Structure 1
């Protein structure tokens, strides 16, 4: 019997480094960051696109933000939601909330609205920091603070740290994870747990002032804490990516090379995609990997490309990573090593008794990183967080992970998967029960079981009756409540579930049955050309599906954005053809994608006319978008209209960074018409436009009429037509402005009673915008420059609108879709200024929502039904 086996009943698995730092010596995160900033004030700490931030700037800005937040009433114990895009200001805010003594609640703005609103309410957040971009998007009792206001006001505050008493027991953040009861649960992490984790990481894997760390993870994923805070304690540099770059491993690879990244952390799924992204040669890179099991094959591939590879393990409840191990080529068994600084681990049986080496049991984690528990979940806390009977530290607790493991190689932990129905997909922890709960609420579903399969989720469903179902409708509904990674990509209908002898659902038999049904439901059409064979081979390997036919739909096969990235990277490596990721959303079969690959890059990437839903026998509807230029917004409309209703969208010129934007609105309309005519669509057009796009559609109708063409439908999606004020000068201009002030005041007063939160938020954003415009006009500040192509194009198209002189037209009756909730004053709230220009008449249709939400769930379905009825009526005439 080994010494370990003989003494196992009282000894935990020891930490990786026995030279432990005393917990009493730990200082707060803000103290450590401030100290490092004073030592090297001029050293770059953060790079974002072309912006370079020094330690001095970062620390001072965070201090100013913190002092400002205190004036907003943010104090110790307050929970502050943060929903902003990735930027240096996001980092300032995170640090400022901590420096103010409060707790931050990280919210990814791309998460479903309902999920974010639940987290804000469940956490009892008193404040929400967001930006004008998301202003009014979330219904919450929290006080909304706009980032634009913070940026404007913060420079007035002192750069010294706020005098806030800090305890190591203070909760730094509350992070929500998937919940088995159908709702996510908030994990609380303290100063002690976070700082202890960071100090442990400084020792191993290690970091110093010469390192550059790639920060690509959403702040709603706990491992982002390593990327954003560890460099600040080491004096290193953070390379921060935006959302688009973090999803494109080809761009990530370019950043790693160009910026000299030395440390990168990611899940196995992301590392696999990096290896597929033209990774040639070895890089001086320390690779950190965790969130899912690391295979021997993936480890060997990474060790060929990196300087070192570290495997990490740890539930969110125990503060990011709790164990680690440096992996070597000669390792026979891949383990997650031993606990980090001031952490312990146990392998226990169902009676909480230690098990000898090699025996499989449940992993329990104890030590400084174990958080206070879930927020407002006392029963779950009692089940998962318990007193540590093996510790001599008073009050010590341990966390029941639900993971299976065993001790190998003396004192190392080998993870062997989940004990329950919790799984990890691409590093995200998912309670299958939460997905089943959400899907089970859909009409007609009697029972549902969700299982993981090849980096995706498959839902097995038993229906109440025999009514036809549309899987896309289920996916659409689930996206209102669940993040994209939790929405099943495949659905299998069954008459009943197979049962095991004890009367429970036999999940193994269910999975085997589902695989056969998936195969049986597909009609295989073999590839014909060499191009199709090449693409089919890539799809089969990336999707892990055998015999994919050229007619099979990428998304119905379980395709996700991550798999799409793998496919595009493989196509680029095999053919040299660099296709945009969006190609798979329009060219979603092997046949279509192969055909598009034969075209040049410009035709693939930046065609003015975008097929949102090109199939169907009805006359197509052509929609011009507003200044947000996001054609994908029209997917919400297309999904809810008749199956045989084609939808096309127009995207402006210049998005590719090569073509010059249109100089005038007339030119834009003419080019859109040329693109439409080039496709050979017959006469009798159905045009529509959203916001700014409505004016463009109006000009298109006027030009089509002049060409002898017929426009049968001209729909305005909440477009305001009044623009003669752009051409007024001198006294008339000021008289018009004065006349509208009193009715504007009455409108705002009434709006405050009807929609107080939304109105205040909108008016705040309006005054900030006007103040900045005035400051630029009088020379107090320069016009802010943006490095986003969309912003620069917006300026061009706004200028084109100001130059456009609208003339009355009788080309077509105007159908005006008018929103029910209006947050800003209009001179003509009835016809939105269209009556003088609609010589053929105007019909008003009221729709639910405001200017931003009427095309989004849940309003999109009613809107699409109304539009379909109208299109059918108009196109018959």
Structure 2
């Protein structure tokens, strides 16, 4: 008999009713499957294979032993075992005994585990000889080795006890804002509804082989361990060392022909960096944190299916899912069976019109609440006003979201200070609570920064009781990290620390987290005096810098930009380093690794782990509206560094570099696709806007298309700044005769204007025209001989390919007028003919008008000193003006 649960809702995406046996506990489905596939391999672990019959009988026996040791339905049993078949059998046995389990990862800090044991009032701790008497608690300790020896004489039959869907299945502890973890109580019917829904979508069959990589202290392990075992599929379990090594995981997936795997974006990146290039017939689930666009682009062509998963622990693992395809926004899709997702405002009004609100989740997955935390349960689990079941609850997630036109739910990040790091949910207050207890710290604030896209890092900002010298500080940071590791998991320990005189405060008295500066990785080094290279690689890099920058000595701690480094010499440096080391680094590497020491450390990293994302943080610090600048035809974003550094201290600036600079990714040759790729990275970093876009030369046209697309999405574009960009409409759609006549006319005008330029400045005109001719010869040569192998080697190997793709995109782009104001920054000195010298062709495209700002220099020197300072002042004034407009 099935208990039908149905909630009527005016939102069609929430009409997720599916009948299921709510009264049945999980062991019913495990046992049923085991009896159906007795001789099939159920569980495999590094050379060991166990059939469904063996797993079924051993878990029954161990359940009987627990019952004989006083365990009753509703009791709590804690489990602290290394990843192994015995761990899986023990979990099944606890459930079959009618108890709820508390999963304890032995690698977690001892104090944290002991808190969980005490808070849960666990009656038994099931562990191994390895951890015998390691944890202090009131629980009776049973060693798995002794238990397995005792149960050899036990009956293999199922224990005759009554476990219902209302009974607790597990209590899983998550990070807590009070400094202590909080236990989430999940009932059997919560778990059963989830697993049965997952059986249908994403879908799993008895022929699948699922690779389980997640620690049991992370709730998503519930899918990995139980979904295959209620389906007849094969569960491949890894040990913790393999789960942390992308190379070993990748090898295991290929060798075992895995068809189903779930992991966080962090794990998928590890596997990609391990050399995953070819297609694998594997269905993958990605969740735990936002799925970046670049990761989608890499995974989608390498797998049979890519699913984006979403859900907090409090609503049982995953609550919404989405099959990701090439041409879609990355959303979390729609709710799973018997689940409702609402977007509500502060007054709990249902926002079905696409407005942004907080995500609330209702339905069969909602947990019973937090163990021993009635106050927090009442705060987070509130009455569901939209359902028809009396006293039904919905969970306040703290995530922002909205409903898209197609009914998909889009998650837009956190409201509070809870963050995701490597897939783990982290309460920053818990880290701060632990950090303030460390020696010498008076105040502490922790935030997650993503200065490098795709690499979120925890940063601790501390105010000391007494100031320390640099040597003592270095020792103190080491001590703080060691102290935190004794009470927090490794993923919750900050990577970097910043010393503050005082924590910045907003006018209303709250901590101003946006004002917290980017870490200065030189904080504990000496400044102002020469420090010689200490390693061979530092010596190599120092020699290159000194030669190409014309300096006799450069300290390993000298900043490239502060000692006069410019984009042209940066290109030369990177080209020379690639020739010497064989490693190709993005030019933008110098923003984050601007000293010989840092660049040398970067060169020691595996080449496959080097990031080539388009979005580059040039100057990410600051509380003002960020400015995003698109590269010009030269593809170089280092040009914008001097401009950024001369702008307001609180003005964040990001650059956008071309896709394909690494020689692996295919360069894009359609303007709309280039703009969409850059927008995706901007939105992933800054989902809410508003946006200030800029582009130099060709980049101005790309920025224009980006603005058009963002506006179509309903995003607010506060500013579109074009740096000496001419709006030349493509003529490929014109009649042939008209096109030929126009081109002849343009050629004549350019030739005539060249004589004017020659009279005004003969030397500069010859230099400029020579450069143009040289570029055209290189491009023609590349087109004719691009198939030759030698053209695909060296630092400049792919620049011509990208340059040609960009030129093609420009040639084919039909520019449409949009309802926007353009701020045109026009070089005072002319270097080429233009049909419209005043507005550079933008009046017919910018429907709200063109604001013209003349800046010193010519097209190629507007970013060079001293022009950069005046340019920066004018640009900052414009940004501040538009930021204040409504």
**TM-score range relative to shorter protein:** 0.5 to 0.7
1:706-855 aligned at under 5 Å gives the runs none
Give the secondary structure class of the aligned counterpart of 2:228.
helix
- Structure 1 residue aligned with 2:141: 144
Give the direction of change, closer, same or farther, for the CA distance of 1:572–1:372 in structure 2 (3 Å limit).
closer
Aligned: 1:290 with 2:337 = no
Alignment match, 2:775: none
Equivalent pair of 1:460/1:493 in contact (CA under 8 Å): yes
Q: Distance in 2 between matches of 1:13 and 1:517?
A: 55
- In the alignment, the residues of structure 2 paired with residue 90 and residue 36 of structure 1 have an alpha-carbon distance, to the nearest angstrom, of 19
Residue 515 of structure 2, aligned match among 483, 495, 509? 509
Distance 1:278 1:413 in 2: 33
Q: Does 1:62 align with 2:74?
A: no
Between 462-471 and 172-181, report the one with greater CA deviation.
462-471
Does the 8 Å contact 1:405/1:413 carry over to 2? Answer: yes
Give the secondary-structure state (helix, strand or coil) at the position aligned to 1:448.
Answer: strand
- 1:376 alignment partner, SS class: coil
Are residues 100 and 263 of structure 1, via their aligned partners in 2, closer, same or farther at CA, if it must alter by over 3 Å?
same
Change (3 A) 1:181 1:57: same
Q: Residue 477 of structure 1: which of 480, 483, 487 is its match?
A: 483
Q: Distance in 2 between matches of 1:294 and 1:328?
A: 13
Alignment of 1:101-250 (within 5 A): 101-250=98-247
Q: Is the 8 A contact 1:536 1:549 kept in 2?
A: no
Question: Is contact 1:46–1:239 with CA below 8 Å preserved after alignment?
Answer: yes
Q: Which residue of 2 aligns with 1:754?
A: none
Task: Say if 2:308 and 2:321, in contact at 8 Å, map to a contact too.
Answer: yes
State the match for 1:41 in structure 2: 38
Deviates more, 1:24-33 or 1:245-254: 24-33
2:23/2:166 contact within 8 Å kept: no
Counterpart contact for 2:578–2:584, Cα < 8 Å: no
Higher relative contact order (CA 8 A, sep 6+): 1
CA 1:532/1:13 → structure 2, altered by over 3 Å: closer, same or farther? farther
The Cα of 1:358 is off from its aligned counterpart by 2.0
Query: Which of 536, 540, 554 does residue 528 from structure 1 map onto?
Result: 540
Question: CA, structure 1 residues 313+428, in 2 after alignment: closer, same or farther (shift >3 Å)?
Answer: same
Instruction: Quote how far apart the aligned CAs of 1:191 are.
Output: 0.3
Deviations 1:173-210 (A, max 9, x none): 00000001111100010001000000000010000011
1:487 aligns with 2:493: yes
- Please state how far the C-alpha of 1:534 moved relative to its aligned partner: 5.0
Equivalence for 1:51: 48
Distance in 2 separating the partners of 1:300 and 1:176? 34
Counterpart residue number, 1:430: 426
Q: Could you say what the CA RMSD is over the residues aligned between the two structures, in angstroms?
A: 2.9
SS in 1 for 2:517: helix
Structure 1 segments (4+ residues) deviating >4 Å? 23-26, 515-527, 529-544, 551-554, 571-574
Instruction: Work out the CA distance in 2 between the residues paired with 1:129 and 1:52.
Output: 23
Q: Residue 215 and residue 516 in structure 1: after superposition, are their counterparts in 2 closer, same or farther (change >3 A)?
A: closer
Q: Is the 8 A contact 2:8 2:388 kept in 1?
A: no
Within 1, Cα distance between the matches of 2:70 and 2:591? Answer: 53
Partner SS, residue 304 of structure 1: coil
Aligned to 1:394: 390
User: 2:457 — aligned with what?
Assistant: 456
Q: Matched residues in 2 for 1:93 and 1:388: separation?
A: 36
Determine if the alignment matches structure 1 residue 442 to structure 2 residue 438. yes
CA distance in 2, matches of 1:553, 1:123: 49
Distance of aligned partners of 1:357 and 1:58 in 2 relative to their CA distance in 1, 3 Å threshold: same
- After TM superposition, the structure 1 stretch with the greater mean CA deviation from structure 2, 157-166 or 535-544, is 535-544
CA spacing shift, 1:422–1:542, aligned 2, 3 Å = farther
For residues 506 and 73 of structure 1, do their structure 2 counterparts lie closer, same or farther at Cα, with a shift above 3 Å needed? same
Counterpart selection for 2:608 from 570, 590, 613: 570
Distance 1:572 1:417 in 2: 26
Q: Equivalents in 1 of 2:43, 2:590: separation in Å? A: 37
Determine the C-alpha separation between the residues in 1 that align with 2:511 and 2:10.
39
Contact 1:540/1:547 (CA < 8 Å) preserved in 2?
no
Evaluate the alpha carbon distance shift between residue 464 and residue 546 of structure 1 in structure 2; reply closer, same or farther with a 3 A threshold: same
Cα distance between partner residues in 2 of 1:32 and 1:50: 27
| 8 Å Cα contact 1:435-1:486 kept in structure 2 | yes
Whether the 8 Å CA contact 1:267–1:292 is kept in 2: the answer is yes
Pair 1:384-2:385 in alignment: no
Post-superposition Cα deviations, 1:771-816, rounded to whole Å, max 9, x if no partner, equal xxxxxxxxxxxxxxxxxxxxxxxxxxxxxxxxxxxxxxxxxxxxxx
State the partner residue of 1:374. 370
Distance of aligned partners of 1:515 and 1:392 in 2 relative to their CA distance in 1, 3 Å threshold: farther
User: Does the CA-based 8 Å contact 1:440-1:448 persist in structure 2?
Assistant: yes
Residue aligned with 2:177, SS: coil
- Evaluate the alpha carbon distance shift between residue 83 and residue 540 of structure 1 in structure 2; reply closer, same or farther with a 3 A threshold: farther
Change (3 A) 1:39 1:490: same
Q: CA contact under 8 A between 1:346 and 1:364: conserved in structure 2?
A: yes
Q: Secondary structure at the match of 2:516?
A: helix
Gap change, CA 1:398 and 1:551, over 3 Å in 2: closer
Deviation at residue 11 of structure 1 after TM alignment: 2.8
Q: For 1:446 and 1:553, how far apart are their aligned partners in 2?
A: 35
Cα distance change of structure 1 residues 408 and 159 upon mapping to structure 2, 3 Å threshold = same
From the superposition, tell whether residues 318 and 42 of structure 1 become closer, same or farther in structure 2 (CA, over 3 Å).
same
- CA change 1:418–1:527 in 2 (3 A) is farther
- Structure 1 residues 539 and 163: CA distance shift in structure 2, 3 A: farther
2:592 is aligned, of 545, 548, 562, to 545
1:353 pairs with 2:349: yes
Distance change (3 Å), C-alpha of 1:326 and 1:76: same
1:27 and 1:168 in contact (8 A); partners too: yes
Alignment-derived partner of residue 728 in structure 2: none
- How many angstroms does 1:139 deviate by? 1.1
Aligned to 1:340: 336
Check the 8 A contact 2:22/2:193 in 1, yes or no.
Answer: no
Contact 2:112 2:488 in 1 (8 A): yes
* Structure 1 residue 233, shift from structure 2 partner: 1.3
Task: Provide the rounded CA distance (Å) in 1 between the counterparts of 2:493 and 2:78.
Answer: 24
Alpha carbons of 1:571 and 1:298: their partners in 2 closer, same or farther (altered >3 Å)?
Answer: closer
Unmatched tracts of structure 2, length 5 or more: 1-6, 451-455, 542-576, 613-886
Q: Decide whether aligned partners of structure 1 residues 55 and 352 sit closer, same or farther in structure 2, where only a CA change above 3 A counts.
A: same
Counterpart residue number, 1:602? none
Contact between 2:583 and 2:607, CA under 8 Å: does it hold in 1? no
Partner Cα distance (1:193, 1:203) in 2: 16
Q: Taking structure 1 as the reference length, what is the TM-score of the superposition?
A: 0.60
The question of whether the paired residues in 2 share the 8 Å contact of 1:13 and 1:412 is answered with no
State the partner residue of 1:11: 10
- Cα deviation digits, residues 242-285 of structure 1 (max 9, x gap): 01111111010111001010011011111111111111310001
Structure 1: gaps of 5 or more residues: 1-7, 558-562, 575-877
Q: Is the 8 A contact 1:12 1:345 kept in 2?
A: no
Indicate conservation of the 8 Å contact 1:12/1:346, yes or no.
Answer: no
